[in-house]
Amino acid sequence: MAQTVNILIGTEDRVRLAAVIGDRNCLQKHVQRARIVLLSADRLPVLEVARQTGASRPSVWRWQQRFAEEGVEGLLRDKTRKPGKAPLSTATLAKVLALPCGKPPKGATHWTGRMVAKVVGISLRAVQRIWQAHRLQPHRIRTFKKSNDPAFAAKVEDIVGLYMNPPIHAVVVSIDEKSQIQALDRTQPGLPLKPGKCGTMTHDYKRNGTTTLFAALNVLNGTVVGRCMPRHTHQEFIKFLNAVERAIPAGKLVHAIADNYATHKHPKVIDWLADHPRWIFHFTPTSASWINAVEGFFSIITRRRIRRGVFTSVADLQDAIRRYIREHNQNPKPFVWTKPANLILAKISRLPVASE
């Protein structure tokens, strides 16, 4: 578009345009259009009109043309636009929501947005907007494992009771091992974090060996006794129990919570327990590692010290783990369990049973 008209304004139109500019209640877009016409009538160049009104040159030309064709009334109203697309019908919305909840076609594992859009006959973005509004996420899946332990309820009540109402003159410890921790060394140094870019590390690595971390979390005060060992057999487990035994003051009962790993029930371990009568083992239900408090500590040390670490040897990895445990024990926080056993059992009883 270019300038194709010369603006000629009569006295009546000039007064009316001046009134629009002087009206404090008038829309700013109408004020801008009136100023464009008045400045153009004064024979100012288009660039100068655009500069003074804050508009672009095509806008100046457009409103000059509109005034020439429709006068002042053309400046005070916008042209009608074509009507937008009609909203999707209720049947279409229902189909978009129902398809991903049903069986996917042609052996696919799940419905995708493009598959639904093709079947329904709408755009991919429309499908995405509908799914987002109804919090439907076919691309995501959550894993679960329901314990089939026949003594599940009794074990949950026992362990949760130790967490929430620990016995007097006793220590409650949560024991487990984190096995096969790899000492990984990256093949190239990564780049540090900076604004707008995350830190980097190479996808490939060099394996320098593994270690196993045995840990006992004192539920009452939050301290951790940890030992790194090359394997996780019953011999190492007994050595670790001896270390925990030395760390706990004499004269107190020890209630130890452990999972059902075969090492924890080895005959030699049972003999060790017989020689240490103050120890009482409480085993978690099968497939219920979430109830073992030390698993939370394993998660934290993995995220903060192991996963992004660069270790040139197993000794380097073990030293990093020991340093973290020392730092943790300098300012420990008691483990707090907040969910009573009856609420846990009630929630699990509401889990739907999948049909085969």
Q: Is residue 139 part of a domain?
A: no
Q: Is residue 85 part of a domain?
A: no
In angstroms, rounded to a whole number, what is the distance separating the alpha carbons of residues 298 and 5? 78
In angstroms, rounded to a whole number, what is the distance separating the alpha carbons of residues 310 and 323? 15
In angstroms, rounded to a whole number, what is the distance separating the alpha carbons of residues 178 and 290? 14
pLDDT at position 354, please?
A: 56
Q: 53 and 106: one domain?
A: no
Q: 31 and 105: one domain?
A: no
- Rounded mean pLDDT, 315-331: 95
59 with 69: CB under 8 angstroms?
no
In angstroms, rounded to a whole number, what is the distance separating the alpha carbons of residues 348 and 342? 10
The predicted-structure confidence for 131-190, as pLDDT tens digits, reads as follows 999 999 999 998 888 888 899 999 999 999 999 999 988 999 999 999 999 999 999 888
Please, how many CA atoms are within 13 Å of residue 110, restricted to the half-sphere of its CB?
Answer: 9
Say whether pLDDT at 95 is over 60: yes
In angstroms, rounded to a whole number, what is the distance separating the alpha carbons of residues 1 and 6? 15
pLDDT at position 292, please?
A: 93
Q: Is the pTM of this model over 0.95?
A: no
Q: Is residue 4 part of a domain?
A: no
pLDDT at position 245, please?
A: 94
Q: 54 and 101: one domain?
A: no
291 with 156: CB under 8 angstroms?
yes
pLDDT at position 56, please?
A: 92
pLDDT-derived band at 3, boundaries 50, 70, 90: low
Q: How many domains does the chain have?
A: 3
Mean pLDDT score of the chain = 90
Q: 230 and 257: one domain?
A: yes
What would the two tokens of residue 87 be?
A: 């909203």
Q: 229 and 326: one domain?
A: yes
Q: 71 and 94: one domain?
A: no
- Rounded mean pLDDT, 338-343: 90
Element (H, E) at 203: none
In angstroms, rounded to a whole number, what is the distance separating the alpha carbons of residues 163 and 344? 14
Q: Is residue 37 part of a domain?
A: yes
Residue 165 CB: number of other CB atoms within 10 A? 8
The predicted-structure confidence for 23-80, as pLDDT tens digits, reads as follows 888 899 999 999 999 999 988 899 999 999 999 999 999 899 999 888 888 888 887 7
Q: 68 and 200: one domain?
A: no
pLDDT-derived band at 353, boundaries 50, 70, 90: low
263 with 269: CB under 8 angstroms?
yes
Q: 162 and 117: one domain?
A: no
Q: Could you tell me the residue range of the domain that residue 70 belongs to?
A: 11-75
The predicted-structure confidence for 192-247, as pLDDT tens digits, reads as follows 888 988 989 999 899 999 999 999 999 999 999 999 999 899 999 999 999 999 99
The predicted-structure confidence for 6-30, as pLDDT tens digits, reads as follows 888 888 999 999 999 998 888 999 9
Place of tokens 């969910």: 339
Say whether pLDDT at 103 is over 60: yes
Supply angle C-alpha 350, 353, 356, rounded to 5.
175
Rg for the chain, CA atoms, rounded: 37
Q: 126 and 164: one domain?
A: no
Percent of residues, the chain, with pLDDT higher than 70: 98
Say whether pLDDT at 356 is over 60: no
pLDDT at position 355, please?
A: 47
The predicted-structure confidence for 76-88, as pLDDT tens digits, reads as follows 888 777 777 788 9
Q: 216 and 108: one domain?
A: no
Q: 168 and 273: one domain?
A: yes
Assign residue 188 the CATH number of its domain. Answer: 3.30.420.10
